[in-house]
Amino acid sequence: MNWFNNSKLFDLARRGERLTHIAAVIPLSFVFTVIAQFGVLPLVLILGLLYGFTDKGISLNGLSNTLTGFWAGLQLVTAFGLIYVILWAWLKKVEKRPFWTLGYETKNALSQYGRGFLFGSLMFAGAVGILALFGSVAFEQGEPAEQGIAAIGGVLLVLIGWIVQGGAEEVIMRGWVLPVIGARYKPWLGLLISSLVFATLHGLNPNLSVIALINLALFGVFAGLYAMREGSMWGISALHSVWNWVQGNFFGFEVSGNNAGGGTLINLMETGADWLTGGEFGPEGGLAVTTVLLVAIAITLFWKSSQNPETQPDGEQMSEI
């Protein structure tokens, strides 16, 4: 497991003039994420002016599914897109290194992204397979225009939003928090802190349960190991994005307690016990997903590979903040 202690992500983090202190990394990860959420406010205002405000917010009822998918995707883009800008500014002004050192080198980017997209799809399909094995999933009859072939326009448009959202959560957690703490202190500490922060950031999601919180932390552990082993952020960014998309817009489940929007290709619903299916939080709140994540962690840790991790000598001595 040489890749664990010598991941290329740590070498890339050392390319700057300084590594941010852990006492700043943890609160800043929350601050950066919260500030980015304000990026959605102009869109909310536009939607309100276009469709009107109601007691429950803005209602998009009556719009075509394609248009609903467009707005749902744009909400994800505006709510998470600023994370990239904020991190770019922090790296440029404080750590003095380029954005690509977060793990976005161009070499093998396409193959890594495609592999992550495939793995994420298969992983969540595995969770659905477990639910089906226990008879805990069934087809749900929804609005004809919001499911199946009729919904494909909205489903594809909202995928763009998931690509931005999933990548944003990964770039701040596994691209910045994990490597900065891991490079300055210990790799296991970077993995632990990034996973706990990731789970905590979802603490206000609706219908959160204990199992859901554990699964969020487990996903953080898996995502961190995957990124560390690959030495890149392309794969895990794709995996996270497609995991959410497949969950919400392919199978029609809730995504971490939220409705995905934009329709679904296969409209399924949970029918078994909440401890297995996740209930109103969606499958991420149940033991079916726990099983998939534990298997994925084990495979990532112990899968034999003939390739050695790409590492580079440490750069110049850095100052600390």
Per-residue pLDDT of 302-314, as tens digits, reads 988 765 444 444 4
3-state class (DSSP) for residue 315: coil
User: What tens digit of pLDDT does each residue of 144-186 get?
Assistant: 889 999 999 999 999 999 999 999 999 999 999 999 999 999 9
User: Given its phi and psi angles, is residue 262 left (phi above 0), alpha (psi -120 to 50 degrees) or beta?
Assistant: left
Residues 6+ apart with CB under 8 A from 26: 177, 193, 197
Check whether 14 has a pLDDT greater than 50: yes
CA distance 85 to 104: 15
Longest dimension (CA), the chain: 61
Question: Nearest-5° angle of CA 221, CA 254, CA 239?
Answer: 40
Task: Kindly list the distances between the CA atom of residue 38 and the CA atoms of 32, 74, 144, 285, in Å, as whole numbers in the listed order.
Answer: 11, 14, 34, 27
Mean pLDDT over each residue of the chain, to the nearest integer: 93
User: What tens digit of pLDDT does each residue of 37-78 get?
Assistant: 999 999 999 999 998 887 667 777 788 999 999 999 999 999
CA distance 291 to 287: 6
pTM (2 d.p.): 0.92
User: What element of type H or E holds 319?
Assistant: strand 319-320
Average pLDDT of the segment spanning 23-27? 98
Which residue, 281, 262, 291, is CA-closest to 128? 291
How far apart are the two ends of the chain, measured CA to CA in Å? 30
Residue 239 is encoded by which pair of tokens?
A: 């995996």
Dump strand ranges (E) for 182-271.
Answer: 268-270
- Residue 147 has a pLDDT of 93
Check whether 79 has a pLDDT greater than 80: yes
Q: Residue 263 carries which side chain, given as an amino acid letter? A: G
Burial 22-54, CB ≥16 within 10 A → b, else e:
eeebbebbeebbeebeebbeebeeebeeeeeee
Q: Residue 207 carries which side chain, given as an amino acid letter? A: N
CA distance 122 to 163: 17
User: What tens digit of pLDDT does each residue of 240-282 get?
Assistant: 999 999 999 999 999 998 888 899 999 999 999 999 999 999 9
Check whether 136 has a pLDDT greater than 50: yes
- Residue 306 has a pLDDT of 60
